[in-house]
């Protein structure tokens, strides 16, 4: 069974139709929307500040969501996919975003809607990623605008696939 713990009397709140893998950890001030999935070995630590997760968000295997004590929070919009082993720390991610495997998003970043953060990218502290583009590299920079085809073919496809995959475990 997943490790879901309160911190200082604040217990995580999960929406309807969510899947949480048996070895995932969710603690503290975390509020998750509906139709979300939290995969194996994922850690969501709302112990030092709040984490808000929209609807139809998938947080894949080994990902870590955390904040900086009394300084930064994590806010995720709807239809967000966070790839395997990604780190999302003290930042805001708007709707329809794909964060690739192993990517790192640091404090005070803002990721615009309809955006892809490439696998392995490091989005440095305070970076504002505009809507509708692909960011890649270390440090991450804009590499191109995103097409409607990529929005539907990648961002929506992956979010929808993870909704399907989670149904296999319920």
pTM: 0.97
pLDDT at 27 (0 to 100): 98
Mean pLDDT of the chain: 97
pLDDT one-digit tens code per residue, 99-140: 999 999 999 999 999 999 999 999 999 999 999 999 999 999
pLDDT at 111 (0 to 100): 98
- Within 13 Å of residue 46, how many CA atoms lie on the same side as its CB? 23
pLDDT at 1 (0 to 100): 86
Which pair of tokens denotes residue 150?
């990529």
User: Above pLDDT 70, what percent of the chain?
Assistant: 100
pLDDT at 170 (0 to 100): 82
Mean pLDDT in residue range 80-84: 98
Task: For strands 74-76 and 92-93, give the pairing.
Answer: parallel
pLDDT at 56 (0 to 100): 98
Residue 53 pLDDT class (50, 70, 90 cuts): very high
pLDDT one-digit tens code per residue, 131-159: 999 999 999 999 999 988 888 889 999 99
pLDDT at 115 (0 to 100): 97
Q: What sign results for the dihedral spanned by CA atoms 48, 61, 26, 96?
A: positive
Domains of the chain as residue ranges with CATH: 3-167 (2.160.10.10)
Quick one: DSSP state of residue 126? T
pLDDT at 149 (0 to 100): 86
pLDDT at 152 (0 to 100): 84
pLDDT at 7 (0 to 100): 98
- What is the per-residue burial (b if ≥16 Cβ within 10 Å, else e) of 132-151? bbbbbeeebeeeeebeeebb
First to last CA, the chain: 13
């Amino acid at each position: 069974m997943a490790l879901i713990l309160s911190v200082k009397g604040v217990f995580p709140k999960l929406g309807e139709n969510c899947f949480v893998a048996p070895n995932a950890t969710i603690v503290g001030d975390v509020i998750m929307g509906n139709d979300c999935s939290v995969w194996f070995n994922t850690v969501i630590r709302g112990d030092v500040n709040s984490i808000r997760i929209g609807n139809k968000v998938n947080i894949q295997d080994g990902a870590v969501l955390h904040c900086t004590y009394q300084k930064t929070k994590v806010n995720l919009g709807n239809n967000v996919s966070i790839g395997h082993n990604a780190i999302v720390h003290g930042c805001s991610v708007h709707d329809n975003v794909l964060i690739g495997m192993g990517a790192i998003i640091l404090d005070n970043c803002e990721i615009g809607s309809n955006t892809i953060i490439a696998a392995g990218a490091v989005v440095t502290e305070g970076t504002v990623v505009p809507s509708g583009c692909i960011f890649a590299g270390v440090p991450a920079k804009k590499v191109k605008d995103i097409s409607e085809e990529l929005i539907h073919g990648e961002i929506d496809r992956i979010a929808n696939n993870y909704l399907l995959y989670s149904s296999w475990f319920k």
